[in-house]
A and B are shown apart, each in its own frame.
Chain A
């Protein structure tokens, strides 16, 4: 990577994929990908090839999150490196296949950018998910998208936590971006959520086209929410939850949670308070799919990330 002072020159982003249906019941991405597979006009841009792709077709067919195991947790080095063996869970087989088609993960042949489209039952609005605080390309893209969406808010979630980050489907690409839009129930297509996701992708592809055409993007900062902690529901000895997200916390994604604020409400009406020392910013509050992952919400802290100017590297 050559550089002039302050400007990072990065490889052009030629091979781009849009994944829908990583979770078979998150309808916005599934619908968009199917629509663009039929008619790709909307996603065509000069200087790049954009491939719409259904990552978990069997789960999509059944309108369920996954068949055997969560595809979006399946791209571990272990899974990806095991030799082909019969009897692997469907999603592990699928992960290997996706790694072959769009990776291999970590290699120079991997796709440049993968957008992985998700919905959440949490009131997160439009959210972009980053896995690295040092991926300048992604930071600039996210900055561009946020500006283009304004005044519509687009939050940025950074999951760089050593224990809590996970091996996502998109992680086979050089520049993985997660799109998470909610609230939307599983199995439901809401027009406003659908159109928001569509708009985010429009701006993202515009950015890629501009970048590939040689446009220089000046230094920028990006406000992000960095993942801190996973908070589980109170549970009994059998593992059943004994309380719900408190009504005062429900739907309050990205809003400050302070010590002494209500956090959970037991089924018989008792309030449990947040006891943490510092103010946190909860997200993924009451996501349906996370009950089984022992997560009522995630706590985050606010951070400002800085990004150098970038432009496409000359050949």
Chain B
């Protein structure tokens, strides 16, 4: 099996078949190909491989959208070079040989000069005659007989993800995704994966997956008839000409359907097009499964400054502080320091933070690549006020000595919060352990805040680089 994409962003498996033949409606099309599985058959092992691949893809996208860094690396890929047809009778064009037993099922093996290719019905072996060693795949794919393809040949190459400078192009989050099955009505894994996902959606609602996923049965008539296609191979109908051709009475079903799908998930080439389509296929070839991921993003967080990150989960339009006027604003908070006092140690920390910020921005603008990393962050949950006299609203307790100065510690049920003036300890009563901060901030007495409580989370900041025009 191969994960196919012909976009520059998501390089999955570099099978560079002519681009216009793919379902190419979005910026990031993907085809999953799992085999071997005969047409019309659903094998449990093949189904499970494909389902797992789809789940991993969804999971990856969710992680990607959440800002996870995916380390690049070297990936073995195969670049299509050419096809090889069966030996045929020159007149009738019928096959005169079959794939040689020593080649059958050996997809992606290394084919050297002299290796057997076909075993003629008459008993002779047809050998590979070329000097260049290549790798065969889609060996003995049922659907390719009519296309005159016994197998494809590919050159092996190493993809280093990210490869070159172009690989770090600014990439916005992948917000909308579709999983399509039954593009070929007899490639069953995809049909059943889509069916299962639709059942899960009915059962669990939109929370079935961490990101919004649309499921589509691409060619329902072909699925019903358990045929690859009804009138024409739909997986060749998504070129612009076909998509824009006027529909007449004589238009093939698959062309109409293609235009329908283009309206549903495209329009191709527009900004309204869905972010990702994952198209599911099977092959009769023993191609297994290959999957590659890489990503980049527009995170502009500073990872070098060792400060904790507070996350406020409010829409930008509701954000109340000055830095929210900017696109990527953040504020630097250093303490402890009394109001009206400048402490040299605190001053030096803040100065260093500002200098690092300026330095980072300068480097970023100059094109430096910043490695990602993990940043401990705390998401604001709620505030807690002091115990107060019900009438006068004056304080009746102070922050407990065991909580004082312990910002960002872990507060567990039963831990002391306040020491009342009458000597009683007020304890943290909630079950969920949270992290207090802004403990005993002078300016917050009048706001009715003794401290805030936050939930700890890890922000994984991806590798970033400034977008090039």
Q: Which residues of A contact B (CB under 8 A)?
A: 31, 34-35, 63, 121, 183-192, 194-195, 241, 244-247, 250, 265, 267, 286-289, 291
Contacts and interface: CB of A to CB of B under 8 A. Distances in A.
A242 to B, nearest CB: 11
B144 interface: no
18 contacts: A31-B398, A121-B338, A121-B340, A183-B338, A184-B338, A185-B338, A185-B339, A186-B339, A186-B442, A187-B445, A188-B440, A188-B445, A189-B445, A194-B421, A245-B343, A286-B341, A286-B342, A288-B340
A63 B395 CA distance: 14
Interface in B423-441: 440-441
Nearest to B420: A191
Given A186-B442, A187-B443, A191-B399, A34 B394 contact: yes
A194 B398 CA distance: 8
A286 B343 contact: yes
Interface residues of B, number: 27
A189 B336 CA distance: 14
Given A191-B398, A244-B347, A186 B342 contact: no
> Which residue of A185, A195, A245 has the most chain B CB atoms within 10 A of its CB atom?
A185
Contacts of A194: 398, 421
Contacts of A186: 338-340, 442
In the complex, the 4 A-B pairs of residues with the closest C-beta atoms, listed nearest first: A288-B340, A187-B442, A185-B338, A191-B398
Contacts of A244: 342-344, 347
B245 interface: no
Given A191-B401, A247-B344, A291-B340, 9 more contacts: A185-B337, A185-B442, A186-B339, A187-B339, A187-B442, A187-B443, A187-B445, A188-B338, A246-B344
Contacts of B146: none
Query: Is the contact region of chain B dominated by helix, strand, or loop, or is it mixed?
Result: loop
A250 B401 contact: no
Contacts of B341: 121, 185, 286-288, 291
B395 A31 contact: yes
Contacts of B216: none
Contacts of A289: 340
Contacts of B395: 31, 189
Given A63-B446, A191-B404, A250 B344 contact: yes
Contacts of B421: 31, 35, 194
B442 A190 contact: no
B124 interface: no
A130 B388 CA distance: 35
B440 A265 contact: no
Contacts of A63: 445-446
Given A121-B338, A291-B340, A190 B345 contact: no
A231 to B, nearest CB: 15
Nearest to A292: B340
B417 to A, nearest CB: 11
A190 B445 contact: no
B28 interface: no
Contacts of A245: 343-344
Contacts of B336: 185
A250 B345 CA distance: 9
Contacts of A291: 340-341
Nearest to A32: B421
B344 A190 contact: no
A188 B405 CA distance: 12
Nearest to B441: A188
B412 to A, nearest CB: 20
A192 B347 contact: no
Interface in B393-424: 394-395, 398-401, 404, 419, 421
Nearest to B343: A250
Contacts of A241: 342
